[in-house]
Chain A
Amino acid sequence: MKFTFNINGTSQTVDIDKNTPLLWVVRDVLNLKGTKFGCGKAACGACTLHVDGESVRSCSYPIHFVEGKNVRTIEGLADGDNLHPVQQAWMEEVVPQCGYCQPGFMMATAAMLEKIPNPTDDDIDANIVNVCRCATYYRMRKAIHRAAEIKNANS
């Protein structure tokens, strides 16, 4: 079946089984490898991206739900060369270790900041529930607060 949607500002049409997880369309068909596979069962958050601005675990999100919608992946988070406040903060705080989980965390954070511009620690605990095995949570929390600051100063 054919599905048409917008991804990082470009319209795309794919012809694929309707239950194919969005993750594999993004990674293998559209060749955007920034969105990661970790578990395939919506349990780790490595595959987090945005569908119409909402955080979605794309490994468990069938492609037919995406018809006519806007998808954003880590590759589309920056505005050209201008990194998103979340990415800027991540660099300032030197968050990534192995880096594998980080796109998922950054996408989850970016979506949260649209809804909660000044998250408290409790907001962060409740909303950022991805898994990082390198356990970079300590720096991530600092980076989330910093990202909120950068974003609010820009707007």
Chain B
Amino acid sequence: MKVFIFLTAFQKTKIMTDSNNKSKKVSRRKFLVRGGLGTLGVLAVGTYVFRNPMRRAMYELAETMVVPYSGSGTEANLWIEVGNNNTITLHSPKVEMGQGTFTSFAQIIADELDVNINQIIVKAAETTTGIIDGMSTGGSLSVAQLFQPLREMAATMREKIKQEAAKKMGVDASSISTADGVLTANGKTMNYSEAIADVTDWTLPDTPKLRPISSYKYIGKPIKRTDLRAKVVGEPIFGMDAEMPDMLHAAVIRSEHVGGTLKSADISAAENMPGVVKIVQKDGWIGVVAESYAQALAAKNKVKVEWDVPKKWTEEDLRAYLKVGEGNMMITQKEGSALDEDGEDVINMEFTSPIGAHAQIEPNGAVAHVKDGKATVILSTQVLGVTQKQVAEALGIDATNVNIIGTYLGGGFGRRLNTSHAVQACQMSEAVGKPVKYFFTRKEEFQHDAFRPPTHHFVKGKVNEEGNLESLEHHYASGDVAMNSVIFPPVMASVLGSDVGAMRGGNIMYTNVPNYRAVQWHKTLPFATSFWRSLGLLANTFAIESFIDEMALNAGKSPVDYRLAMFGDDEHQNRIRKVIEVAAAKGNYTDKANDNRAMGFAASIDAGVPCAQVVDLSIENNRIKVHKVVCVMDCGLAVNPDQVKAQCEGSIIMGISATVHEKMTLKDGQLYPTIYGPYDMALMRNAPKEIDVHLIQGVDVPLPVGEPPLGPIGAAIGNAVRRITGKRLTDIPLTLG
């Protein structure tokens, strides 16, 4: 029921806008409702202190983040196009940023359409011609949300094709069988293109019964990525590769200081540089448009700018500003009674995590053309719809006159949930009357990221005589994640009172502990912070699971048994327990260090997906060297098990990078470093040579997979180091000093 309450809140406006377009309201609601139903079985059970039922429902939803698909079209022919040569094009409402979604979508529709997967082309839909996700591509949700709607679209399309073939072949539709994109009846055959040629009446039949999952040829199989060849031969598929005829190039100047505003600019020297077409001055930034990128960059360096910098932030300022006990407080979980924080027997540990950069390799940018009151923008973005609205507002034109064309993304990780630079590209194009291509320098990427916010945590507990926890509390402070973001309605902030993104992984999953609480402190920081793959999960799990490990050591118990004893007995908790048991067994977990080598264990649950990891590492030259990671995850039905594993492998190494290597620092009002290398990231030499992923299917629908495996890794590393050195590492990045 939880999902429904949430939906009605958001749907009111949706349904109103729907009456303006031609889509069938009835079937649309049907999909949304089904989307909701499919997820009910996996909602985490939490206890909330809110009397407001709306807030309570939204919290529960926010915690699992299994949000039903929020796109608005249900016409199968808007999604699926049957072309000549029997090709099928899926206009995907989601973008492909490496997560393998297009491949899974191809598998899903190939099975219901009954065609060969090689016949299918998957493309990102454009805002003016296709159905795009109203919210975003993110939250690891693409396959989880669209599994059911896509199958229904494909099945409906197959039925339509059969009906048309029946007319042409002069047979009854029920006598037609389909295989590999060919229709057969009475010994006659016809392919899908032939069946659908000349059709003008697109009245669609009712959605037929879906096939049983066991009958599928592609779903559930490790099919190779459909974009594999394009990506190994270097095809121009990314936003950065886009061009428009007669295009100019631009470079942009912005404040290098946090909170800096433009005071004055002298553009006289820059204007006379070779190739310069125009210098565009706007509120807070200056754009240099030239014939080539090299010329734009050279001229940019000749612009003399003065900035007003109200305060030169330092790391110390930041730590004093962002801490537990400061800002908006919200209890996000409560069971039993609160700890007497001053009690003598309270064990209290403090943890921190730094500002994290997205550092995706393809810089942000856009190619834009604004002409005659219309705008066309090609870019890598996770938010086509939001970007369309932003451009329309900035240019003062109707959104229907703005077409956003999505490309393949050279990495997303949440960075491209903020792509308002499309507006800048449009404003420059408007100023010169020609298409303009513009992208961030790497320094701009590092200084003007929408960062993973730094965090501060206290984890507190009280144990009984056996060393088992009587009380467990997580108090954590974070900057904005979901709050103030473009993809959540502002009302969410006032309804929720705290940040649901920062909350990810912040609640206690050990519900057999008699008393537990999670308390969030929230502040907006002076620089942009937002979604970074897995949101709060990385730092929150690090804090809680490091503390749990310390409690197990304290009690003289195996950290595996210690955890297992803290779960109750319901379907949800049994799924977590199973993941922990299987990980301990598959990873041959042992609690004993061997000289400078040891294992570490940690677990988490995120978006209804439990994950446990065993890390095997050693300390070499005072550095952490991870040799092997065993990862067990219950992600429900894996549409493409090979790509689910790829997501786990990538998450694990990205997690090693984020918890052992990476850190942005505020110094003298600026964010540093501004280049790879100094922004230390895991490279080949830092990646484990063995990663062993085991998937469990605890429920029979697909669940989010791209973020949950980032949960345990940091704590698992810290827990292993603790067994070698005897020292508890409490600050990310984990260094041995």
- Interface flags for B411-450 (1: CB within 8 Å of A; 0: not) read 1110000000000000000000000000101100000000
Size band of the interface chain A makes with B = 35 or more
B window 210-237: CB within 8 A of A: 224-225, 227-237
- Top 6 A-B residue pairs of the complex, sorted by shortest distance between their CB atoms: A34-B234, A100-B410, A98-B98, A97-B98, A99-B231, A135-B653
Q: Is the CB of B654 within 8 A of A135?
A: yes
**Highest count of chain B CB atoms <10 Å: which of A21, A24, A94, A128:** A94
Judging by beta carbons under 8 Å apart, are B236 and A33 in contact?
Answer: yes
* Closest partner residue, chain A, to B274 (CB atom): A17
Contact yes or no, A40 B441, CB < 8 A: yes
Binding site for A on B (CB under 8 A): 97-100, 224-225, 227-238, 240-241, 292-294, 358-363, 408-413, 439, 441-442, 642-643, 646, 649-654, 657, 675-677, 681-685, 687-689, 691
Whether the Cβ atoms of A129 and B683 lie closer than 8 Å is yes
Whole-angstrom CA separation of A99 from B360 in the bound complex: 11
A-B contact pairs, 9 of them (CB 8 A): A33-B241, A38-B363, A87-B232, A98-B411, A106-B232, A131-B683, A133-B411, A136-B650, A138-B689
- Whether A38 pairs with B293 at a CB distance below 8 angstroms is no
Q: A98 and B653: CB pair below 8 A?
A: no
Query: If the complex has contacts A36-B361, A78-B233, are A97 and B238 also in contact, measured as CB distance less than 8 A?
Result: no
Q: Is the CB of A139 within 8 A of B649?
A: yes
What CA separation (Å) do A106 and B241 show in the bound complex?
19
- CB of A96 closer than 8 Å to a CB of B: yes
Report the minimal beta-carbon distance from B424 to chain A, rounded to whole angstroms: 18
A→B interface (CB under 8 Å): 17, 20-21, 24, 28, 33-41, 43-44, 46, 73-75, 78, 83, 87, 90-91, 94, 96-103, 106, 121, 124-126, 128-141
Report the minimum CB–CB distance from A104 to chain B (whole Å).
Answer: 9
Given that A98-B408, A129-B684, A138-B687 are known contacts, is A44 also in contact with B361, CB under 8 Å in the complex? yes
Given the known interface contacts A96-B231, A121-B689, the answer about A135 and B442 at a Cβ–Cβ threshold of 8 Å is: no
A2→B339 CA distance, assembly (Å) = 76
Q: Are A124 and B684 closer than 8 Å at their CB atoms? A: yes
**A44 nearest CB neighbor, chain B only:** B676
Determine the distance from Cα of A131 to Cα of B411 in the docked complex, in whole angstroms.
12
The answer to whether B442 touches A99, judged by C-beta atoms less than 8 angstroms apart, is no
> Could you tell me if B681 and A91 are in contact, using CB atoms closer than 8 angstroms?
no
A134 near B362 (CB under 8 angstroms)?
no
Question: Are A73 and B675 closer than 8 Å at their CB atoms?
Answer: no
Among the listed A98, A103, A141, which residue makes an inter-chain contact with B234, where contact means beta carbons less than 8 Å apart? A103
A91 & B410 in contact (Cβ 8 Å cutoff): no
Partner of A135, one of B100, B657, B677: B657
A101 to B240, CA, bound (A): 13
- Chain A residue with Cβ nearest B222: A94
Asked if A73 and B234 sit within 8 Å, CB to CB, the answer is: yes
Of the residues B232, B240, B359, contact of A102 by C-beta under 8 Å: B232
A28 and B297 alpha carbons, distance in the complex (Å)? 15
B232 adjacent to A75 (CB under 8 Å): no
Q: Which residues of A contact B230 (CB under 8 A)?
A: 99
Q: Which residues of B contact A99 (CB under 8 A)?
A: 98, 227, 230-231, 237, 408, 410
Of A35, A91, A94, A98, the most chain B CB neighbours within 10 A belong to A98
Q: Are A137 and B682 neighbours in the complex by a CB distance under 8 Å?
A: yes
Residue picked from A83, A103, A135, most chain B C-beta under 10 Å: A135
Q: In the complex the two chains form, what is the Cα distance from A43 to B358 in whole Å? A: 16
Given contacts A24-B292, A102-B231, A125-B684, whether A36 and B224 have CB atoms under 8 Å apart is no
